[in-house]
Chain A
Amino acid sequence: MIIQIENLHHTYMEGTPFETKVLHGVNLEVKEGELVAIIGPTRSGKSTLVQYMNALFLPKTGRVVIDGHDTSKKTVDVRKVRQTVGLVFQYPEHQLFQETVGKDVAFGPKVCGIPKEEIDDRVSEALDAVGLEPKVFKNRYIFALSGGQKRRAAIAGVLALQPKVMVFDDPTAGLDPKGREEILGTIRRVHEKQGLTVILVSNNLEDVARMAKRVVVLSEGKVVLEGSPHEVFSKVEVMRQIGLGLLQTVEIMSRLKERGFNVPLDSLDADETARRIFEYKQAMKGGSAGGAV
């Protein structure tokens, strides 16, 4: 278990008139090498939860253990935790501050005291991983990059720390289809080629359906659903009730079902949806044909 969260509570602005409970006893375990997605409506506590994985918050109630480091203990080495878990915030391109891509990617390793020769290698590797050819992009000025490229450069800045776990907070927000594909491709490469554990927090259900092996649904600070994408997305009632809405494919299936087509709800993409509808049609035909004989 690389991440272990037990009974985690969090209160925002504790002790002020603006006090709000954000997390109410969250339990979550992530195995090494998994690709887990966390979804939930606005203010469900997703962003707060991921900050515990990076020791930006330390638990007051409950326990968070990251690769053996218990962050609820006073003796915890916060830097170790941050080197284990790389956290990519929403709109990470907003954190770029150096003039060139290479310098910005090198920032993390540099402050962590990595020797100079190794930093160079790490920068090249990280740029490679996000699909920015190091030879071309290392010396390029940040302001000369497109929106999607800036975001990938920022992701490289986190990858260069060589963490075991990468957490992405809404990585495709605001990008066009092309930009989105590039980011998702990067995440997939990091997961499959480098074997990193990936936690994908997303507002885009389509992205999650395509990427995740396991989905965790948060609502009002609690885990309300957990399972494979097929299991989770087919829970139409819960998804509607917590205000997340449905995956487009599931929406199609559930509308068909409402009109008396007895198709399974759990389809994640166009291919699967078409296949299931086709199979249903064949079965119906077979059934009615058989009945006629």
Chain B
Amino acid sequence: MELSKDITLGQYVPRDSVIHKLDPRVKIILWMVLVTALFFIRTYTGYLVFFIFLMGVIHLAQIPILYALRGLRPAIPFIVVLFIIQLLFSGSLYADSTNVLFEWSFIRITAEAVRTYSLTICRVILLFFSVTLLTLATSLVGLTDGMESLMSVGRPIGVPANELAMVMVIALRFVPTLVEELERIMKAQMARGAEVETGNFIQRTKQRIPILIPLLMNTFQRAEELIIAMEARCYRGGKGRTKRKTLRLGILDYQAIAVTILFLVVFFSLTKYVIPASW
């Protein structure tokens, strides 16, 4: 049993690639731009092109594509269930559709619904994919430094950028530790004969108590010790705090911005004027 194996989200793969070298602020902003762009795509071809673009970026980041795709695996059942439910119960939204594919009692599946929800699924997958991409190729430190720097724009209006970043850093710092601990507690209870993940809903919830209670208690204990350790090291909030690193933009960053803008311009021109809206 290895819990950490299928979790690609939030896992950083250290490589010496162009993507890794980009300023985290640039990466975060470009990522936000791309994610926003995702919501304007209305065609399968569009998603396909976008997907290929992201693949290209993953390749540039020297991350095995199969590994990047693996993270999707645990999400597949949810996506499928979501798709089916939406399809089955959304008939009324397309009441005047002529393209009815299937109809029985209150269930009414129309061609429009199939298309809309398929596109939604494509969007969810790509969204997930782009988040994975950002975290696989940006160290946690980079991410938090970038976020802090971007958020500090809002400092004059009272955004506690430093504190928020600190919360993020600590959360991220303890994810692997807590996953390890969760794994150990689960195994310890299994070694005592406990079954994990069998039976009906109530049984399963009951089975989780022996795991969740110790995990929670240990987390509180850790938090308490951590607070003492931080105070001992003179932490008193963001006030008067300075940073070791100052971020600066380089040529590579400007190139990345240019490439992304170029891609988006070409991409949306194509979808508007060349690719038929029904593809």
Contact = CB atoms under 8 A, between A and B. Distances in A.
A40 interface: no
Contact of B214 (A57, A79, A95): A95
A94 B181 CA distance: 9
A89 B187 contact: yes
A16 B70 contact: yes
A16 B188 contact: no
Nearest to B216: A97
Contact of A95 (B64, B67, B185): B185
Nearest to A92: B188
A89 B180 CA distance: 13
Nearest to A96: B214
A45 to B, nearest CB: 15
B218 interface: yes
A221 interface: no
A56 interface: yes
Contact of B192 (A12, A13, A51, A108): A108
Contact of B193 (A89, A94, A95, A111): A111
A95 B181 contact: no
Contact of A111 (B181, B184, B188, B192): B192
A83 interface: yes
Contacts of B193: 79, 82-83, 108-109, 111-112, 161
Contact of B63 (A17, A83, A97): A17
A102 interface: no
Given A89-B187, A94-B185, A158-B192, A107 B210 contact: yes
Given A56-B1, A89-B184, A97 B191 contact: no
A54 interface: yes
B67 to A, nearest CB: 6
A83 to B, nearest CB: 7
A197 to B, nearest CB: 16
Chain B contact residues: helix, strand, loop or mixed:
helix
Given A17-B67, A89-B187, A94 B218 contact: yes
B195 interface: yes
B192 A161 contact: yes
B181 A13 contact: no
Contacts of B195: 111
Contact of B188 (A13, A83, A89, A161): A89
Interface string B213-233: 110011000000000000000
B2 interface: yes
B241 interface: no
Contacts of B187: 51, 56, 89
B214 A16 contact: no
- Classify chain A: how many residues form its interface, as a range: 20 to 34
B267 to A, nearest CB: 30
Interface string B174-193: 00000001001101111111
Interface string A179-211: 000000000000000000000000000000000
A253 interface: no
Interface in B63-120: 63-64, 67, 70
B29 interface: no
Interface in A143-164: 157-158, 161
A57 B5 CA distance: 14
A107 B213 contact: no
A56 B191 contact: yes
A94 B70 CA distance: 32
B13 A107 contact: no
A87 B193 CA distance: 11
A58 to B, nearest CB: 10
B185 to A, nearest CB: 6
A276 B10 CA distance: 58
A90 B185 CA distance: 10
B194 interface: yes
Contacts of B189: 95
A47 B181 CA distance: 14
B209 interface: yes
A86 interface: yes
A98 to B, nearest CB: 8
A158 B194 contact: no
Interface in A58-85: 79, 82-83
Contact of A94 (B64, B194, B214): B214
B73 to A, nearest CB: 12
Interface of B: 1-2, 4-5, 11, 13, 63-64, 67, 70, 181, 184-185, 187-195, 209-210, 213-214, 217-218
Closest 7 CB pairs of A and B: A108-B192, A97-B213, A95-B188, A87-B191, A112-B193, A89-B188, A111-B193
Interface of A: 12-18, 51, 54, 56-57, 79, 82-83, 86-87, 89-90, 92, 94-97, 107-109, 111-112, 157-158, 161
Given A97-B214, A107-B192, A111-B193, 12 more contacts: A13-B2, A15-B5, A82-B190, A92-B188, A94-B185, A95-B188, A95-B189, A95-B192, A108-B194, A112-B193, A158-B191, A161-B192
22 contacts: A17-B63, A51-B187, A56-B1, A79-B193, A82-B190, A83-B193, A89-B184, A94-B181, A94-B188, A94-B217, A94-B218, A96-B214, A97-B214, A107-B192, A107-B194, A108-B193, A111-B193, A111-B194, A111-B195, A112-B193, A158-B191, A161-B193
